[in-house]
Amino acid sequence: MKSLTVVDHPLVQHKLTIMRDKETSTGSFRRLLREISLLLCYEVTRDLALTTKEIETPLGPMQAPTIAGKKLVFASILRAGNGLLEGMLDLVPSARVAHVGLYRDHDTLEAIEYYFKAPDDLDDRLVIVVDPMLATANSATAAIEKLKERGATNIRFLCLLAAPEGIAAFQKAQPDVPIFTAAVDSHLNEKGYIVPGLGDAGDRMYGTK
């Protein structure tokens, strides 16, 4: 399928610019990420199937629209994925949550797994994998492979920033998984950071550098 959706809504772009600014504080960075995640969640769920159910309004019965199928799964790639996860859960409080703990080895840029916990029945649910950054795509690919091993077949990947190199690698490795992002930046630097990017998302969220 190889689909790529860039969410170019003015509010998303405005908030992203403030997040990129190196003078933005840790607290503001976290708040903005949560706000953007609401808007991104709106886009990534835009085409969910609806069914109807019978309800009673104060004026009488109605066949009213409601989301069809089983509850969604949001899969957060730790740590920084949690910044997107929290806002998404505000919008879809009934979603199930998977956590995939991964960090990038600084030298090889390979993703090292340290934690995995997911609902059992991934096979008949839409799984939306969230991580603010798609750089080399090693982390996203490792997380999605693990989710597929556990039965997930219907997967979307949602991030804030993507590098062209990461998009190409991701689409080669996971051609069936659509990507949603707020921006596609210029390139990766020699250390695998997105340029111009916003720096290290986890460090900026949690003030660890």
**Does position 36 bind ligand URA by CB under 6 A?**
no
The smaller minimum CB distance to ligand PRP, of residues 134 and 158, is found at 134
Instruction: For the segment 19-78, give every residue that binds ligand PRP (CB under 6 A).
Output: 77-78
CB 6 within 8 A of CB 178: no
> Considering CB under 6 A, how many residues would be counted as binding ligand URA?
8
Name which position in 75, 133, 158, 177 contacts ligand PRP (CB under 6 A).
133
* 72 DSSP 8-state letter: P
β-partners of residue 78 are: 101
Catalytic residues: 104, 108, 200, 203
Q: For residues 140 and 129, is the Cβ–Cβ distance under 8 A?
A: yes
Cα 57 → chain centroid? 36
> Out of 15, 30, 104, 125, which residue is the one contacting ligand PRP (CB under 6 A)?
104
In which residue are the tokens 């159910």 written? Answer: 53
Q: Which is nearer to ligand URA, 86 or 165 (CB)?
A: 165
Between the CA of residue 16 and those of 30, 38, 193, 197, what are the distances in Å?
11, 13, 17, 10
Stretch that binds ligand PRP, among 54-62, 127-135, 144-152, 178-186 (CB under 6 A): 127-135
- Residue closer to ligand PRP by CB (options 138, 171) is 138
Among 135, 169, 182, 183, binds ligand URA (CB under 6 A): 135
181 part of the interface to ligand PRP, by CB under 6 A: no
Specify the pairing of strand 60-67 against strand 73-78.
unpaired
Q: Which is nearer to ligand URA, 122 or 133 (CB)?
A: 133
CA distances (Å), 155 to each of 11, 58, 122, 126, 176, in order? 26, 39, 10, 6, 8
Q: Note if the bond before 164 is cis, omega within 30 degrees.
A: no
Q: Which residues bind ligand PRP (CB under 6 A)?
A: 77-80, 102-104, 109, 111, 131-140, 166, 192, 200-202
Q: Which residues bind ligand URA (CB under 6 A)?
A: 133, 135, 193-194, 197, 200-202
